[in-house]
Amino acid sequence: MQDMELLIEETHRRGLRLILDIALNHTATEHEWFQTSRRARKDPRLGKRDWYFWSEGKLDEFGNRIPPNNWESTFTGSVWEWDELAGEFCAYFVILMLNLGLTEDQDLHIFGKNQPDLNWDCEEVRKELYSVLRFWLDKGVDGFRLDTMNLVSKTSSFPDAPISKEGSIWQPANYLFANGPHIHEYLQEMHEEVFSHYDCMTLAEMSCGVSAPEAVRYTSRFNARPELNLVIQFQHVELDCHDGDKWMLREWELPELKRIINEWQETLVKNGGWNTVWMENHDQPRGISRFTTNSPRFRALCAKLLALWQFTLQGTNLIFQGQELGMINPGLFSEDMNQDIETIQYWKAACEEAGSEAPHKLELAKKAIIQKGRDNTRIPIPWTEDPHGGFTDPKAKPWLPAFDHGGEWCHASQRHSPESVWSFYRSLITMRKANPTLASTPFERQAYPLILTWL
């Protein structure tokens, strides 16, 4: 805690503000709340039984106990996981396939077998989470990035999702656990109970889809009961997904991107909302590789072009580490190098499906990982020309190997070059701060179908 307090103090001393990334939708299975909840079925005196989603499930035609519905997790398999100790299923909506040796109930987990979802329908849960937020605000943090915030209200009757994936037991059910029936009620309550009493900012990640009109409901200053300041939407980074499948690569065309930009820029501003403008984060590949080309000849030009795109749109800019250096995807595949659990699970499933008779399917899977894998933005950024890019001791082994971008791309070189990508980003930030109308002026589209242009 002393480290955190020092970070807050030094951040403020430099005229900066600190936004804390926090997950209110789920906890770890190791958390005291979950450990109490899973034991409370046999000993109700412990409390917290309804702090998570538990279900006895149902029996199949052979008398085997199975999950209560066919909802598919964000990563793989059912959202429900059997818990031996509890004797029920628990819900985890985004499954991370980790064998934690959990001991009988199934719980609901959207985000991983080690990340069970909290039951926001339980008032005690909400009050406890509000207390957590106040704790950090009282410590001096200036706001929060609220992870997967639009998932905190589920359709609690847990109906089966319609069949959209032929041949699969588990079916996509995003609309049943995202932007749910009480989401606005809970966000309004959270604002009134917590955020309205502090000078702070709220930035909410909207997982599993949110439209521009829906974003207005979350962020509009015209709302009688305020909810959030900003949302992070994903429509522009889903253009290269086929029918919502991240790993099924799809070619897209410029008019599609323009349509998304136009809708978000126009809809939010006209209705009292506010945009976030971004292209990279810890869950996405590098923007240069995704939207342009990795060609060394055009790399710097493409990096500056994308920066210009971001910094001249209306809204708040979000920049991910290394973006200001023009980092690209390494463009390499090695099974041993994969550290991201999502990628590991996808590769395992691809190998099982392909077997020895369809090697071409593995090549497609490799291509998808090279292009879309989350480790692309999780490798160390190049601070210097030293081993590991100066990220750590030369003799150390980092979590992921640093990619050799070449000396001219490291931070130490770029900060001294007026023509570098880093210097270009710095100029854009300076220009935007000196001209606040760039962030607030209403967007005006121009009718050139094959050119991305606006006023």
User: Rounded to an integer, what distance in angstroms lies between the CA atom of residue 135 and that of residue 128?
Assistant: 11
Of 56, 104, 121, 147, the catalytic one is 147
Is beta strand 230-232 parallel, antiparallel or unpaired with respect to 201-205? parallel
Enter the tokens of residue 115.
Answer: 């990340």
Q: What DSSP state is assigned to residue 21?
A: E
First and final CA of the chain: distance in angstroms?
47
Contact, 116 vs 107, CB < 8 A? Answer: yes
**Stretch (H or E) spanning 54:** strand 54-55
Enter the tokens of residue 290.
Answer: 């995704």
Is beta strand 65-66 parallel, antiparallel or unpaired with respect to 58-59? antiparallel
Of 81, 105, 205, 375, the catalytic one is 205
What are the angstrom distances between the C-alpha of 354 and each of 96, 330, 371?
Answer: 22, 25, 20
User: Rounded to an integer, what distance in angstroms lies between the CA atom of residue 116 and that of residue 91?
Assistant: 6
b/e burial code for range 438-455 (CB count within 10 A of at least 16 → b)? ebeeebeeeeeeeeeebe
107 labelled catalytic: no
205 labelled catalytic: yes
Residue located via tokens 């000849």: 297
What are the angstrom distances between the C-alpha of 65 and each of 40, 55, 189?
Answer: 21, 11, 38
User: Alpha helices of 246-373 — where are they, by DSSP H?
Assistant: 254-270, 287-291, 299-311, 341-354, 359-372
User: Rounded to an integer, what distance in angstroms lies between the CA atom of residue 42 and that of residue 225?
Assistant: 41
What are the angstrom distances between the C-alpha of 256 and each of 177, 260, 263, 449?
Answer: 27, 7, 11, 10
**Partner residues linked to 145 by β-bridges:** 21, 203
**What residues are labeled active site?**
147, 205
